């Protein structure tokens, strides 16, 4: 039996950053945004809560980004670029705020000029609009817009004029093709 003591031992955790977090190794050659964020946090020897504070987000959001479950929205891109010290979005070819994959990998569409959905997406990204913003502008639901962009559906007759005007076509019937 140990004698009772009034002494308390305290150890600083600032010098102890694990190489693994919940069994997830820190990547040596990161390929996704989450891997880049996790690697940078390990380099800076920060805990997730400290890194989240620097980025102005919650620890849950940072965790989801690091695990590539959620993609950072446009509003967070500038803070992420500042935090990493380089533009990860250009480096990895990631442009769409709702997908965490290089353009053309999971989206097996034809060339951008041949597919109306690709033209809509390209124009939306050029204007730095979110799906919700563009859906509101085109007077359709966000789900409908995503379906158009993913090639699952084409704009109906009543939406073709607005879509044609948005992507720069002069005649609404040009939207029907492909």
d(CA 26, CA 18): 9
Query: What pLDDT is recorded for position 88?
Result: 81
**Cα–Cα–Cα angle for 32, 29, 34, rounded to 5 degrees:** 25
Q: What is the pLDDT of residue 18?
A: 52
Structural contact between residues 51 and 13, judged by C-beta atoms closer than 8 angstroms: no
Contacts of 102 (CB under 8 A, 6+ apart): 92, 93, 94
CATH number at residue 125: 1.10.260.40
Q: Among 130, 151, 123, 141, which Cα is nearest to 159's? A: 141
Please indicate, yes or no, if residue 12 is contained in any of the structural domains: no
Same domain, 88 and 131: no
Q: Hey, is 120 helix, strand or coil?
A: helix
pLDDT of residue 121: 86
Please give the model's pTM, rounded to 2 decimal places.
Answer: 0.46
Q: Is there a domain that residue 106 lies in?
A: no
Q: Does residue 60 belong to any structural domain of this protein? A: yes
Q: Are 19 and 25 in contact (CB under 8 A)?
A: yes
Higher pLDDT, 177 or 148: 148
18 compared with 33, residue with greater pLDDT: 33
Residue 139 lies in a domain: yes
Q: Is residue 36 part of a domain?
A: yes
Q: What percent of the chain has pLDDT over 90?
A: 19
C-alpha 45/C-alpha 83 separation (Å) is: 13
In a domain, 83, yes or no: yes
* Whether residue 84 is found in the same domain as residue 24: yes
Question: Which pLDDT score, from 0 to 100, does residue 156 have?
Answer: 85
Query: In terms of residue numbers, what domain contains 145?
Result: 116-175
Whether 138 has a pLDDT exceeding 70, the answer reads yes
Task: Look at residue 7 in the predicted model and tell me its pLDDT.
Answer: 76
| Across 13-27, 50-64, 135-149, least confident range | 13-27
75 in any annotated domain: yes
Instruction: Give the pLDDT band of residue 110 (cuts 50, 70, 90).
Output: very low
Q: Identify the residue whose tokens are 């380099």.
A: 43
4-8, 157-161, 168-172: range with highest mean pLDDT: 157-161
Total number of domains constituting the chain: 2
Over residues 105-116, the mean pLDDT reads 46
Provide the 8-state DSSP code for 97: T
Long-range contacts of 136-144 (CB under 8 A, 24+ apart): 137/162, 137/166, 138/162, 138/163, 138/166
Q: Give tens-digit pLDDT for 8-28.
A: 767 665 555 455 555 677 778
């Amino acid at each position: 039996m140990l004698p009772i003591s009034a002494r308390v031992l305290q150890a600083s955790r600032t010098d102890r950053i694990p190489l693994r977090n919940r069994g997830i190794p820190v990547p040596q050659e990161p390929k996704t945004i989450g891997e880049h964020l996790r690697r940078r946090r390990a380099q800076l020897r920060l805990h997730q809560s400290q890194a989240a504070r620097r980025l102005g987000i919650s620890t849950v959001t940072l965790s989801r980004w690091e695990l590539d479950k959620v993609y950072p929205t446009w509003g967070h891109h500038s803070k992420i670029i500042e935090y990493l010290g380089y533009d990860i979005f250009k480096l990895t070819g990631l442009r769409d705020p709702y997908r965490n994959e290089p353009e053309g990998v999971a989206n097996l569409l034809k060339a951008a000029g041949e597919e109306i959905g690709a033209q809509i997406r390209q124009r939306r990204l050029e204007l730095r609009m979110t799906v919700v913003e563009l859906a509101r502008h085109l007077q359709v639901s966000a789900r409908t817009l995503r379906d158009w962009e993913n090639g699952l559906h084409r704009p109906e007759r009543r939406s073709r004029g607005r879509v044609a005007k948005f992507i720069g076509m002069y005649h609404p019937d040009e939207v029907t093709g492909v």
